[in-house]
Amino acid sequence: MIPRVPLIARVARLLKSGAKLEDGSIVVEGARKATGGKGRTRIVMTMAVFFGIYSTITGRLVYLGFQNPDLSGGPQSRVTASRPDIVDRNGEVLATDIKTASLFAEPRRIVDADEAIEKLATVLPEIDYEQTYHKLKSGAGFVWLQRQLTPKQQSDIMQLGIPGFGFRTEKRRFYPAGETSSYIVGLTNIDNQGISGMEKYIDEQGLSDLQASGLAVAKDLKPVRLSIDLRVQHVVRDEVASGMEKYRAIAAGAVVLNIKTGEVMAMASVPDFDPNNPYNAQEKDRLNRMSAGLYEMGSTLKSFTTAMALDSGKVTLESRFDASRPIRIGRQTIHDFHGKARVLSVPEVFIYSSNIGSAKEAEAVGIEGHREFLHRLGILEKMQTELPEVARPTEPKVWKQVHSITIAFGHGVSTTPLQTAVGCAALMNGGYLIEPTFLTRTQEQAMSVAKKVVSDKTSESMRYLYALNAEKGSGRNARVPGYRVGGKTGTAEKVVNGRYSKDKNFNAFVAAFPMDDPQYIVLTIADEPKPEKPGMGATAASNAGAMAANIIRRSASMLGVKPDFSHENGATLVSYQ
């Protein structure tokens, strides 16, 4: 026990020294002053901290108040990543993002999975009951139930009032032109990622990386401008679809190519699909035959055989070849379809489409020279362009004389129609091979990547032969008054079960216009066409040639080619000495 006297004595001394007794406590004045100062400092500091915290919270709330609310409750997802618009050369929209609702569920909040599915099936009858049941019973925090709903479906589901269901706003691709440009523009999958056509090309150029990093913001993505003209594209697609029906072909296609720049102005292949509802896009007959289909191009390849012979210097327009008798090599006999059974000049070999004459032109050049020329013009090389769907041409592993002879008139190698058009453009534009592009390009830009493949003289001679063939040969059906069209037919027997069929043809026509200064190539194809009427033939002149004429007639003015009727007296546009 502490003694009481010393304690009382100490209290007395404190009071004597100036301390005060307040509410039963002894307070020393100096200590109170010191303690009061420190307390005020702590209070001020505490207030400052709390003020800072509440200011931050208030600022964040103000910021969020100006943002679009996400009422879905679902997590952020890369599926909403934006894509740039795709437009034609005139700015017409070919593909754009639109908002759509997707249905999700939070299984932990689902009370009765069976009841929820029964209600949902009244709006979505196609829903998989078993799969959906397992999702709702999984106990997960979030599962997708149905992506990309229509506004009516979303409204109807909301009216069901099912607890644990919600909607998330996503982006999906919309294609205003529908099937008109489906093979060129391409498709995206349900996650808005490009899987074909120019949509896939755009992803391969870095868009997918931007999306993954969250930098693909809609306002920062500039439209991708294509080379195609939607007006011309509509004409081309309409004509090939009509031609396929009219000639009862299993497929048809066409391309319009700018000779001076290599720009694809339009390209279509049917059967095709609607990219807004691509339920049949994976069917085996849905193939972009112009760039991904391989065909023996028939007599259109005689354009290259004749150009090769002329460019070699071993043959001139005055040269003659004996086509009076068939050529026999091994077990094969080479005939002419409409043989003249006489010696033919080079122009006659071309306009009569003589197999015998073409074979002898190839013999004059030689096997190695023949192969080298076709590779030089890109006919047997895999084409370099933006479109991902490009097939690699085929050729014999070892060229023998029989190969060179048959290839001379279009059998024995397979290439794409688009490559054939590109090679023919080189024969028309002064001899420059320009790889095709689906993006806009100037003539200066094209010439910076062009390769000189034939001489100016060879190109001039081929322009003469194309014009002559339209006047006197198989190209007469492709003539269009005022537009000075030249061209070459190609009727190739198809290989069926290892043999050439007499009943199934692959027909093509390549046209150039205007022949006084060629600006455009139009190449059309018809796969296994039938005669339009009983007693008529089904050769390229009667179907592919007619399709080319219709395309030129309807689109030439859109392409900026003015009609000129000064040559309508039947005279050829290039003199032949």
pLDDT at 451 over 60: yes
pLDDT at 545 over 50: yes
- Give the range among 65-79, 127-141, 167-181, 417-431 with minimum mean pLDDT: 65-79
Across the range 57-86, mean pLDDT stands at 60
Q: Using N-to-C axis directions, what is the helix angle for 302-311 and 417-428, rounded to 10°?
A: 40
Say which residue, 80 or 78, is predicted with more confidence.
80
Residue 269 has, within 13 A of its CA and on its CB side, a CA count of 20
Per-residue pLDDT, 488: 96
- Give the range among 28-42, 304-318, 416-430 with minimum mean pLDDT: 28-42
**512 and 480 in contact (C-beta within 8 Å)?**
no
Can you name the residues that pair with 522 across neighbouring β-strands? 256, 511
358 a catalytic residue: no
Across the range 419-435, mean pLDDT stands at 98
Cα separation, 54 vs 45, in Å, equals: 14
User: What mean pLDDT value characterizes the chain?
Assistant: 87
Q: Using N-to-C axis directions, what is the helix angle for 113-121 and 151-160, rounded to 10°?
A: 140
Per-residue pLDDT, 39: 65
Per-residue pLDDT, 566: 77
Cα separation, 177 vs 200, in Å, equals: 18
Which H or E run includes 486?
strand 486-496
Question: Using one digit for the tens of pLDDT, what is the confidence trace for 206-262?
Answer: 776 665 655 556 666 889 999 999 999 999 999 999 999 999 999 999 999 999 999
Radius of gyration of the chain (CA): 39
Query: DSSP 3-state assignment of 150?
Result: coil
Cβ atoms < 10 Å from Cβ of 138: 14
Per-residue pLDDT, 567: 63
Which candidate in 269, 299, 459, 474 is catalytic?
A: 299
Question: Using one digit for the tens of pLDDT, what is the confidence trace for 5-30?
Answer: 455 555 456 555 555 555 555 554 55
Cα separation, 292 vs 152, in Å, equals: 39
Per-residue pLDDT, 210: 61
Question: Using one digit for the tens of pLDDT, what is the confidence trace for 319-377?
Answer: 999 999 999 987 888 888 877 889 999 999 999 999 999 999 999 999 999 999 999 99
Across the range 272-279, mean pLDDT stands at 93
Per-residue pLDDT, 79: 46
pTM over 0.85: no
428-437 burial code (b ≥16 CB/10 A, e <16): bbbbbbbbbb
Q: Give the phi and the psi of residue 497 in degrees, each rounded to 5.
A: 55, 40
Tokens of 155: 């409204």
